[in-house]
Amino acid sequence: MLFLGVGSTLIGAAARNIGLTPFQIGLILSIQNFGFMLAVTVSGALADTYEKPKILFVGSIILAASFLTFYVTDSFFLNLVIMFFIGIGIGSYEGVTDAMLLEMQKGRESIYININHFFVTFGALVITAYLLFLQMNWRKSMTQASVGVLILAILLAFTRQSSEGTVVEKLSERLRFLRKQKTVLLLFLATICAIGLELCLTGIITTFLMELRGFSQVTSKLGLITFLTGIAAGRLSIGFFVEKARILHLIMLLFALSAVSIGGVLFFDAMGLTYTLMFISGGTISAILPLIITLAGIMYKDMSGTVMGIIKLAIPVGGISIPFLLSVISKYASLELSLLLFPSIALVGFLILFLSRKAFQSHLEHFCARD
């Protein structure tokens, strides 16, 4: 998951060094998430019948090769293709690791899922901070990251996992049942909002700080590091304290707080408070996605793998649609206008859950009573 964070934050950390425009940033993030969507679907399905370390081995080989070749040449089209394969590599990690973790660790779901996603944020912090130590020599960091992924692939090649035939019985019946569940669709939509906030803000922060706040290459990277540190701190701490019966209320609260904090960062020149607001914004966004995944698993415990797989499909959907909107608005209107997307998305996520809270609460009370 650490390398998933590196891959997903690569553009946000290096966009200005590469020389990408806001339009190109949105496009390349969308292409990455097409690859992610394909991989998270296929790897999740294969994980039921094949050894999970072997799936991760294949994904690691693809990711290592993609890191090594990304922007070796200046062809934007060629690098779009390479970014597609980076999406495939990190998508295989997302599709397999949570399922493997839940097999290995029983109970206290919110803690394990939050910690697992903490390492995504930690990887994002590593690549951003590393660029500063390398004095912006981002290509060197990609070469070294590819070596790290290759070492991981070698370890996975010698890892064995017992196969217990975990294919879900009567999958078609479960899918027919879930199609009638309004709450699954609502969680899917809320996940699109959550991932859109996290990925798009990560991708645009350095550009925003340099173009609209006058930050330098170094200070804009520090702003991104501060934002990611807020996400990491939130993910590492919130999971330990949340109660199952209060997860829905906490998700709504975090959506509402993120709308306020993001609006403060993007539309008010806070001068010396910019870094503080960045940290707060990261903290409010931090646990939304892991808690939505946890909530889905708790509400449909008898088919948690199927439901979590459906919910995770919203990750690439949000990662494609929201950056694409950002790209179009920034190109045909302005970067300033495109920033309105972020507090608006947070408010939409809040309203989706708030207006349907009674349906969610009845489900939660039923499953908590069973536990």
Specify the pLDDT at position 163: 47
* Domain limits, the chain: 2-159+171-370
Specify the pLDDT at position 193: 92
Task: Give domain 2-159+171-370's CATH architecture.
Answer: Up-down Bundle (1.20)
Rg (CA), the chain: 20
Query: For the chain, what is the largest distance between any 2 Cα atoms, rounded to a whole number of angstroms?
Result: 58
Ramachandran bin of 214, using left for φ above 0, alpha for ψ from -120 to 50, beta for the remaining angles: left
Specify the pLDDT at position 203: 76
Specify the pLDDT at position 20: 77
Closest to 17 (Cα-Cα) out of 217, 224, 222, 219: 217
Nearest 5 degrees, angle CA 263-CA 114-CA 85? 80
Specify the pLDDT at position 135: 52
**The pTM is what?**
0.72
The answer to whether the beta carbons of residues 338 and 51 sit under 8 Å apart is no
For the chain, how many residues are written?
371
Q: What is the 3-state secondary structure (H, E, C) of 184-239?
A: HHHHHHHHHHHHHHHHHHHHHHHHHHHHHCCCCHHHHHHHHHHHHHHHHHHHHHHC
The answer to whether the beta carbons of residues 261 and 347 sit under 8 Å apart is no
CA distance linking residue 334 with residue 336, whole number of Å: 5
Specify the pLDDT at position 165: 45
Q: What tens-digit pLDDT sequence spans the chain (371 residues)?
A: 666 666 666 666 666 677 777 778 778 877 887 888 888 777 766 766 667 778 888 888 998 898 888 888 888 889 889 989 988 988 888 777 766 766 665 556 566 676 766 776 676 666 666 666 655 566 777 787 788 888 878 888 777 655 444 444 455 665 676 677 788 889 999 999 998 888 788 778 888 888 888 888 778 888 888 888 888 888 878 767 777 677 888 899 999 999 999 888 888 877 778 888 889 999 999 889 888 888 877 777 766 666 777 788 888 788 778 878 888 888 888 878 888 888 999 999 999 999 888 777 766 665 555 55
CA distance linking residue 306 with residue 98, whole number of Å: 12
Specify the pLDDT at position 352: 92
CA distance linking residue 41 with residue 38, whole number of Å: 5
**What φ, ψ does residue 274 adopt, rounded to 5°?**
-60, -45
Q: Which long-range contacts (CB under 8 A, 24 or more apart) does 150-153 make?
A: 150/60, 150/61, 150/64, 152/3, 152/60, 153/57, 153/60, 153/61, 153/64
In the block, which residue shows the tokens 């993001």? Answer: 262
Specify the pLDDT at position 97: 73
Instruction: Provide the Cα torsion 314, 319, 320, 325; round to 10°.
Output: 120
